[in-house]
Amino acid sequence: MSSHLLWILYFERVYCMKIILLLLLNIYFLNAQIVIVTNKNTKIENLPKEIVQYLYLAKINKIDTIKLEPILSDDEALHDQFCNTILCKSQSQYNSYWARLVFTGKKSISKKLEWKEIVKKLQDTNTIAYIEKKDLRAEWKIVYEEN
Amino acid sequence: MKKIKRILFYYHSLSILKKFLLALLFGVILVLPFYNFIFLSMLEMKHSVNSVNSELIPLYEVSCDNILLLENIVSEINSAVSSKEIEWIETSNKHAEKIRKNLNNHLNSNYAKEIQESIIAFDNYYETVKKVSKKIIKNNYFYHDIENDTKTLIQDYNKISMLLKNLKSKTKNDIEKNIDLIYENTNFVLLKGSYIFFIWFFTSTLIIYLVYKDIKYRIKRIVEDSKDIARGDVDFEKRLCIVSYDELGQIVRSLNIFINKLHKKHEELLEAKKELDTLYITDRLTNVYNRVKIDEIIDIACKKKETFSVILIDIDHFKLVNDTYGHLVGDSILKEFATILKESARDTDFIGRWGGEEFIVVCTQTSKEDDISLAEHLRAKIQDFYFTRVGKKTASFGVAASRENDDAESIIDNADKALYRAKHSGRNQVVCYK
């Protein structure tokens, strides 16, 4: 009786651990690594996180006289993750922030682009975009990478 | 030239008080253009103050209010979008209404064009903002045209914001301009006020001084003319010149009337004096000089050391005539006798009655021989004359010529002595004193 009970207990523990492990794995895969990329020919090498934040929050639009155009992705999950990890803002905070910029007449909300459009846009120099690291292409270079 | 004369005539015809009042009048006339400037400045100032009070200040307040209201709208809509509450968007309507009302209230002001533009821009903006915010909420910040929509919105917002701010700054500038204008005008008025005072003061003083100089000159002329008339022997032919027609002119006229009267009186007095003088030196019966005049003539001649002769004449047996025919006949003989003497004497001879029936002739500027022959001539004439009622009469003559150191008394005495001898030598003859 007791050994049976023990078995059950053991089995449940293992199962639970498996579920937790699976969940963790899942999260790991969902939170794919985000990188900020630009065209290889852009004269920017590395950007600190703050500068990336400033660029995406429209606080600045150029670095050392090089004008940079931030590109948004229409991938909800990626965008959400980008907001959370790089801009350190929740999606609603990000939206409120941009709403404020719009209504006080400072900056318009940029269009969110499909993958194809992003690729096309990145053919131009002086554009930056956030992508999953796995989607990195040879003609691009990483200017910022979240560790 | 004629005009100047007329002006001068007009000036001279004014009374002294009016002449001095001229100073004030000219001061006022010169001041009038400046006063005109001041009046215009005051009008401008009044206009500025009115404009600031009635139009600019309310408009400025409204402009500030509008800017705040726009911010309110932005904040309302912003919070609606942030909270994704479509209903909240409508709460901004009251602010929008207020802005429209504010703008429409001042549609008739000088800023009608700007206000009209603002109204259109605001309506445009408000429509866009409502539309875009609703779209954003509905699509959860993600739809295809978001970029264009927000761009239009930003443009519209910036436009209305700029228009409202412009209106504010414009009204503010205009208020400042008006206040500056008031300040400038006040300065101008103060400056012109000082000018007015100084010009009035100097003109008045100058003209008063000129009038004073003129009056002084004319008084001087009156005084000099008076002195001229009174200098030495009073010249009653002269009159004071009438220098003007004011009080001084009246004084001159009065003085002239006075001088006229004096002149008349003076002439009367002269006449009277002449008469008196004649009476004083004339023998009333025979109308020849009396002793007073003869004495004077002899004295003068003696003093001048002239050579002259005295002929004393006595009518022979005159007492007899008086006794026989009476004094009236005696008097008539004396008259006739004097007439003969006068008719026969020369211009340089003075004939006088020496007393009773004695006559005297003083011969000046003639020689002794001439005088003796004159005496002889007279004697002959008397001898030939037929006197009224009495008939023929004769006279005795004593002649004495002046010598050095002779005085009146001695020469008369000499003549008397000669006459005496003539009487004693048988009368009707001329005896010269030797």
3-state percent helix, strand, coil for chain A, nearest multiple of 5? 50, 20, 30
Per-residue model confidence as pLDDT tens digits over B240-293: 777 778 888 888 889 889 889 989 999 999 999 999 988 888 888 888 999 888
CA nearest to A99 within chain B? B78
Helix/strand/coil (H/E/C) assignment for every residue in chain B: CHHHHHHHHHHHCCCHHHHHHHHHHHHHHHHHHHHHHHHHHHHHHHHHHHHHHHHHHHHHHHHHHHHHHHHHHHHHHHHHHHHCCHHHHHHCHHHHHHHHHHHHHCCCCCCHHHHHHHHHHHHHHHHHHHHHHHHHHHHCCCCCCHHHHHHHHHHHHHHHHHHHHHHHHHHHHHHHHHHHHHHHHHHHHHHHHHHHHHHHHHHHHHHHHHHHHHHHHHHHHHHHHHHHHHCCCCCCCCCCCCCCCCHHHHHHHHHHHHHHHHHHHHHHHHHHHHHHHHHHHECCCCCCECHHHHHHHHHHHHHCCCCEEEEEEEECCHHHHHHHHCHHHHHHHHHHHHHHHHHHCCCCEEEEEEECCEEEEEEECCCHHHHHHHHHHHHHHHHHCEECCCEECCEEEEEEECCCCCCHHHHHHHHHHHHHHHHHCCCCCEEECC
End-of-domain residue from the set B182, B206, B230:
B206
The answer to whether position B220 is within a domain reads: no
Question: Mapping DSSP to helix (H, G, I), strand (E, B) and coil, where does residue A92 land?
Answer: helix
CA nearest to A112 within chain B? B142
Which of A92, A95, A108 lies at the smallest CB-CB distance from B151? A108
* DSSP class of A110: P
The size of the A-B interface in CB pairs under 8 A is: 57
Which of B74, B141, B146 lies at the smallest CB-CB distance from A104? B74
Find the mean pLDDT for residues B86-115: 90
pLDDT value of position A23: 65
Per the document, the length of chain A is: 147
CA distance B98 to chain A (A): 19
CA distance A91 to chain B (A): 10
Q: Please list every residue in chain B whose beta carbon sits closer than 8 Å to the beta carbon of residue A112.
A: 142, 146
Q: Please list every residue in chain B whose beta carbon sits closer than 8 Å to the beta carbon of residue A104.
A: 74, 78, 157
CA distance B74 to chain A (A): 6
Does the pLDDT of residue B62 top 80, yes or no? yes
The answer to whether position B185 is within a domain reads: yes
Per-residue model confidence as pLDDT tens digits over B134-157: 998 898 888 888 889 889 999 999
Longest pairwise C-alpha distance within chain B: 189
Q: Do A107 and B74 touch (CB under 8 A)?
A: no
Does the pLDDT of residue B368 top 90, yes or no? no
d(CA B76, CA B73): 5
Average pLDDT across each block of 10 residues of chain A; the chain has 147 residues. List them in order.
Answer: 64 71 59 85 87 90 87 89 90 89 88 90 90 89 85
Q: Which of A61, A34, A60, A64 is nearest to A144 (CA)?
A: A34
The answer to whether position B296 is within a domain reads: yes
CATH number of B415's domain:
3.30.70.270
Model pTM score: 0.57
Asked if A93 reaches chain B (Cβ–Cβ under 8 Å), the answer is no
pLDDT value of position B169: 93
The answer to whether position B398 is within a domain reads: yes
pLDDT value of position A29: 52
Number of structural domains in chain B = 2
* Whether residue B297 sits in one domain with residue B197: no
B411: containing domain: 291-432
The answer to whether position B274 is within a domain reads: no
* Whether residue B7 sits in one domain with residue B109: yes
Mutate to test the interface with A, among B77, B142, B144, B145 (most CBs of A within 10 A): B142
Q: Do A108 and B153 touch (CB under 8 A)?
A: yes
pLDDT value of position B118: 92
Residues of B within an 8 Å Cβ radius of A: 74, 77-78, 81-82, 129, 132-133, 136, 140-142, 144, 146-147, 150-151, 153-154, 157-158, 161
End-of-domain residue from the set B175, B206, B237:
B206
Instruction: Write out the catalytic residue numbers of B.
Output: 357
Q: Do B144 and A108 touch (CB under 8 A)?
A: no
Do residues B428 and B393 lie in contact, with contact meaning Cβ atoms separated by under 8 Å? no
The answer to whether position B61 is within a domain reads: yes
Domain range annotation of chain A:
1-30, 33-145
* Whether residue B138 sits in one domain with residue B7: yes
Per-residue model confidence as pLDDT tens digits over B154-189: 999 999 999 999 999 999 998 898 888 889 888 888
pLDDT value of position A2: 57
Q: Please list every residue in chain B whose beta carbon sits closer than 8 Å to the beta carbon of residue A92.
A: 82
Q: Do A102 and B77 touch (CB under 8 A)?
A: no
End-of-domain residue from the set B206, B241, B276:
B206
Domain A33-145 classification at class level: alpha beta
CA nearest to B158 within chain A? A105
Does the pLDDT of residue B227 top 60, yes or no? yes
pLDDT band of B406, cuts 50, 70, 90: confident
Asked if A95 reaches chain B (Cβ–Cβ under 8 Å), the answer is yes
CA distance B139 to chain A (A): 12
The answer to whether position B245 is within a domain reads: no
Which of B82, B146, B158 lies at the smallest CB-CB distance from A105? B158
List Cα–Cα distances, B162 to B21, B154, B167, in angstroms: 65, 12, 8
The answer to whether position B125 is within a domain reads: yes
pLDDT value of position B69: 93
CA distance B79 to chain A (A): 8
Average pLDDT of chain B is: 88
d(CA A120, CA B280): 160
